[in-house]
Amino acid sequence: MKIAIMDDDKAFSEKARNMLNCIGEKNNIIINTDIYNNETEFTSHISEYDLIWLDIEMPQINGLELCKIINGQKHGDFPYVIFVSDKDNLVFDALRLFPYSFIRKCDIELDLENYITKLNDKINKSYREYVIRQKACSVKVNTSDIIYLEKQGHYIDYHTKKGNFRERGNISEKESEFIKHGFFKVNQGIIVNPEFAVSLNTGGVLTLQDGTAVPISKAYRETVKEIIEVNLK
């Protein structure tokens, strides 16, 4: 698990790193932690982390505003955010930004291990390895990185966060396999990862995070609408 600690209190940041290292050793979790004490350097590295430990009150930018920036750069659920603060009056403002959790600094040693172990289980379920057998070579990707699958004649194009890959195959054979990972079919030639859905218009066109506009067949519109409404809440 790769974690960023964003906190202007340097002493507390080091204490937090030590706590995370102890939790990792105790629970057999590999944890790599980076500390940032200002947002300038941090914001260019947001996408590198599974979890961001975020203080709310900082001198240059408050954690609530920073969380909005993080949310705007998310890929699916990643990175998760844990707010850490002793300001109980800010908890409701923080929860409106849908963090993974809010922990009071005075309770950190009691609560942190439970949150980290549960989040590690959640992350492990998200990172399912999938092998795409291309003509020249096979590549491994995480299903959470696959945006959508598209039929192209006797081939399937995998559109992913790390590029596009092509494999010979039948998309109907892939449907049952990817449904297990939460994907859904929108027409006879495309299967979509709901984590990358942005909007669904009244004309039956689904827009994805990479800007792709996917037409939805009438037979699938109601089902897709239900899935998207739940996912965008």
Tens of pLDDT along 38-83? 787 888 888 888 899 998 888 777 888 899 999 888 766 778 999 9
Per residue in 120-151, pLDDT tens? 888 776 667 788 998 888 898 988 889 999 99
Mean predicted lDDT score pLDDT of the chain: 87
Q: By percentage, how much of the chain surpasses pLDDT 70?
A: 96
Q: Is the pLDDT score of 232 beyond 70?
A: no
CATH topology of domain 139-231: OB fold (Dihydrolipoamide Acetyltransferase, E2P) (2.40.50)
User: 40 φ, ψ to 5°?
Assistant: -60, -50
Put simply, whether the predicted model's pTM sits higher than 0.95 gets the answer: no
Domain boundary assignment for the chain: 2-126, 139-231
CATH topology of domain 2-126: Rossmann fold (3.40.50)
Torsional sign, CA 198, 199, 204, 205:
negative
Q: Which residues of 113-141 are buried (b: 16+ CB within 10 A; e: fewer)?
A: bebbeebbeebeebeeebebeeeeeebeb
Rounded Cα–Cα distance for residues 80 and 100 (Å) = 6
Radius of gyration of the chain (CA): 20
Place of tokens 């037409």: 215
Per residue in 158-175, pLDDT tens? 999 889 999 999 998 888
CB 56 within 8 A of CB 83: yes
pLDDT recorded at residue 166: 94
Residue from 227, 166, 167 nearest 194 by CA: 227
pLDDT recorded at residue 57: 81
Cis, peptide link before residue 99, omega less than 30° from 0? no
Residue from 156, 152, 144, 127 nearest 196 by CA: 144
